[in-house]
Chain A
Amino acid sequence: MTNFFNILFSTDFAFSVLRVMTPILFAALGALISNKAGIVNIGLEGTMLVSALTGVIVSAYTGSAWIGLLLAVLAGVMIAALLGFFTLKFKTHIILGGIAVNMFASGGTVFILYLVSGDKGASTSLKSMTLPSLHIPLLQDIPVLGPILSGHNVLTYVSLLCVAGLYYMLAKTPLGLQIRSVGENPQAAQSVGVRVNRIQFISLLISGFFAALGGAYMSMGYLSLFTRDMTAGRGWIGIAAEAVGRSTTIGTFLSSMLFGAADALANALQVLKIPAELVGTTPYVVTVIGLVVYAVTEVKMKKRKLAKTKASRS
């Protein structure tokens, strides 16, 4: 037990929280931007998988991790565009469209992996590249903070920058205002000349962009290869994190960190000799608890508001 607490309060653990949080955070940001525009992208999980595979294959063939990343992002945005085309043009139900994307990704990535590498499980035969880790000069010398914050994969820092960027975009730019107005009330937005379909399409593309970064991180940072269904529900946990974060950028960031900590905790728990099968369920259990707590407080808040308006009327 003491062994376990030693791990929990070590800088290594704090470091691993940030490491594990990154893909969840990217997915959560993708969920946030699409949800703000009133069109929830359920296909994040699948988009991440497709990008993870694209990154591995392209970087193996070109020998450059950066070209791999570029094409992984492109693939993610393309999937989002396809989803947008079907939902906005053909009026496919957005949730069913997302389910289709996930189904396509889960089998399609195995299919393509097999065609490229002759293996259905993992891309071990491909010599794929990984994105570099950054050691930040002054920061890494500070005790405690240094080992926690420095030395992460470049995409982990990108994810933090994305939080700031998304916050700025939603709060301060015309596009952000349009996205929020479309999400709040599409008819009202349309009546003042906002092109609803176009804004929703753009939001879907951005959410695909975030999911793609998360996917690329999985196969070119978190691990250095692609394995079958490697995202393991992180896209869904991201969607839950966005809900628990009450659709605010800061809230989403904090709840992603919470879920990341649960994930890291699951890794640390293995020291206690609890069976790996049970420990592996920790992030999902925490996610369900988070969702329920969020929903219960939401219902209570609504009731309180209702009571207040009634009281003020009488």
Chain B
Amino acid sequence: MFRASQFEKIRTVAVILISLLLTFLIIAIISKDPVGTIMIFLFEPINSVAHIGNVIEMSIPLMFTGLSVVLLFRTNLFNLGAEGLFYFSGIVASTIAIHATLSSWLHPGVAIFAGAVTGALLSAIPGYFKAKWNVNELVSSLMFNSILFGVGLYLLNYKLRDTQAFINASYKFQKTALLDNIIPGTRIHTGLILALLCIFAVHYYMYKTKWGYELRMTGSNRAFAEYSGINTTKVIITVHLIAGFLAGMGGSVEVLGMYSRFQWTSLPGYGMDGALVALLAKNNPLSVIGASLFLAYIRIGADLMARMSDVPSEMISIVQAVIILLISAEQFLKFWKTRMLLKEAGIRD
């Protein structure tokens, strides 16, 4: 039977099953053809190469923002600023993709790097406030999201906008700036490789370096870390820099990998989803891969369902909320763990 040490894994699976059951329930209430709709939701994303491609494409930005949030949450910083950084870095990368003339290797590299550095520097502002004066990072980062969105939209409308385009979008990116496709028949781009590299790098940073140890110590107890000689101010600012760098890189990669113009006129939501990925991954960098794929899967399932049936895709946000509530619920299924522990110890209850 199951062992108590695997309890966390079992619980994650249980939460996912419960949320899927809830999905079915909602579909059953709303849809005229519940069974067909559930089938679309569950199996359509793996029905064709193009759809599998869609899932992987969507998981790329989620990996970046998820990784960014993992670093912050692990340091016990509830910063949700990835959303605004993702958007604004996309604008910065787009500007370079439109205006600079560089060779085809250098161009996306420079654009992505510029976006990532912008993200890092902007993220450092609430980070500095938090580290220095203990400003509530949750509220300040959310305010920053709105500010960055406003400034970004201004740049889009007044500086980058192509009046000849039929939609509200920027000028076309130069061909040299676009990321290469790696799997024909899908739109999966080289950003996937970059995302995976980042994940391994963060894993190494977090578990194999002194800085990673300091980060985890600061996360579990800042006062204690401070007393044991760790400069927590520095740790918090560094974490914000790295997290902002990753979120910014995600925004730039997404823009150059999936679009030929910048066309977000509202926040794309990947930053908030990053928080969900981090929770599903239990703040573990390597688990971000699986968590992003899972979230992308149910997202694409919901999108396809909205297109092919009568249930709107926003249903998924209800399911997401339930996942967050249950997965972070310490006491949920705790009785089961206790029973398993007692059994393993040979005590009957």
- Interface of A toward B, CB cutoff 8 Å: 42, 86, 89-93, 95-97, 99-101, 103-104, 106-108, 110-111, 114-115, 120, 232-233, 236-237, 239-240, 243, 275, 277-278, 280-281, 284-285, 287-288, 291-292, 295-296, 298-299
CA distance A285 to B146 in the complex (A): 9
Contact between chains at B330 and A90 (CB < 8 Å): yes
CB within 8 Å for A107 and B157 given contacts A115-B30, A236-B143: no
CB within 8 Å for A96 and B328 given contacts A108-B314, A275-B154, A288-B147: yes
Contact between chains at B318 and A277 (CB < 8 Å): no
Q: Does B315 touch A at the CB level, under 8 Å? A: yes
- Return chain A residues, CB-CB under 8 Å to B275: 99
Contact between chains at B321 and A92 (CB < 8 Å): no
Q: Is the interface of A mostly helix, strand, loop or mixed?
A: helix
Determine how close the nearest CB of chain A comes to the CB of B24; give it in whole angstroms. Answer: 16
Q: Which residue of A lies closest to B317 (CB)?
A: A107
Contact between chains at A275 and B158 (CB < 8 Å): yes
Contact between chains at B332 and A108 (CB < 8 Å): no
- Return chain A residues, CB-CB under 8 Å to B178: none
Q: Known contacts A91-B331, A96-B279; can you find 19 more A-B pairs with CB under 8 A?
A: A90-B325, A93-B328, A96-B328, A99-B80, A99-B275, A100-B320, A104-B318, A104-B320, A108-B314, A108-B317, A111-B312, A111-B314, A111-B317, A233-B143, A278-B151, A284-B143, A284-B150, A291-B129, A291-B140
- Return chain A residues, CB-CB under 8 Å to B150: 277-278, 280-281, 284
Q: Which residue of A lies closest to B330 (CB)?
A: A91
- Return chain B residues, CB-CB under 8 Å to A107: 314-318, 320
Q: Is the interface of B mostly helix, strand, loop or mixed?
A: helix
Q: Could you say which of B38-46, B106-114, B131-139, B253-261 contacts chain A?
A: B131-139
Contact between chains at B312 and A114 (CB < 8 Å): yes
- Return chain B residues, CB-CB under 8 Å to A295: 129, 133-136
**Contact pick for B332, options A90, A243, A299, CB 8 Å:** A90
Q: Which residue of B lies closest to A233 (CB)?
A: B146
CA distance A222 to B321 in the complex (A): 28
- Return chain A residues, CB-CB under 8 Å to B139: 236, 239-240, 243, 287, 291
- Return chain A residues, CB-CB under 8 Å to B315: 107, 111
Of all A-B residue pairs in the complex, the 7 with the closest CB atoms, nearest first, are A107-B317, A104-B321, A90-B329, A281-B150, A100-B324, A277-B154, A111-B314
CA distance A97 to B78 in the complex (A): 12
- Return chain B residues, CB-CB under 8 Å to A299: 133-134
CB within 8 Å for A277 and B153 given contacts A100-B321, A288-B144: yes
**Contact pick for B140, options A89, A277, A288, CB 8 Å:** A288
CA distance A275 to B158 in the complex (A): 9
- Interface of B toward A, CB cutoff 8 Å: 30, 78, 80, 129, 133-136, 138-140, 142-144, 146-147, 150-151, 153-154, 157-158, 272, 275-276, 279, 312, 314-318, 320-322, 324-326, 328-332
CA distance A91 to B135 in the complex (A): 25
CA distance A26 to B298 in the complex (A): 36
Determine how close the nearest CB of chain B comes to the CB of A29; give it in whole angstroms. Answer: 16
CA distance A92 to B279 in the complex (A): 12
- Return chain B residues, CB-CB under 8 Å to A285: 143, 147
Contact between chains at B157 and A104 (CB < 8 Å): no
Determine how close the nearest CB of chain A comes to the CB of B16; give it in whole angstroms. Answer: 15
**Contact pick for A42, options B138, B154, B157, CB 8 Å:** B138
**Contact pick for B129, options A89, A97, A233, A292, CB 8 Å:** A292
- Return chain B residues, CB-CB under 8 Å to A86: 325, 329
Q: Which residue of B lies closest to A236 (CB)?
A: B142
Q: Which residue of A lies closest to B154 (CB)?
A: A277
- Return chain A residues, CB-CB under 8 Å to B134: 295, 298-299
- Return chain B residues, CB-CB under 8 Å to A232: 146
- Return chain B residues, CB-CB under 8 Å to A90: 325-326, 329-332
**Contact pick for B143, options A99, A240, A243, A280, CB 8 Å:** A240
Determine how close the nearest CB of chain A comes to the CB of B100; give it in whole angstroms. Answer: 25
- Return chain B residues, CB-CB under 8 Å to A298: 133-134
- Return chain B residues, CB-CB under 8 Å to A42: 138
CB within 8 Å for A281 and B146 given contacts A92-B325, A100-B325, A111-B318: yes
CB within 8 Å for A92 and B317 given contacts A99-B324, A277-B154: no
Determine how close the nearest CB of chain A comes to the CB of B344; give it in whole angstroms. Answer: 23
Q: Which residue of B lies closest to A289 (CB)?
A: B143
Determine how close the nearest CB of chain A comes to the CB of B191; give it in whole angstroms. Answer: 25
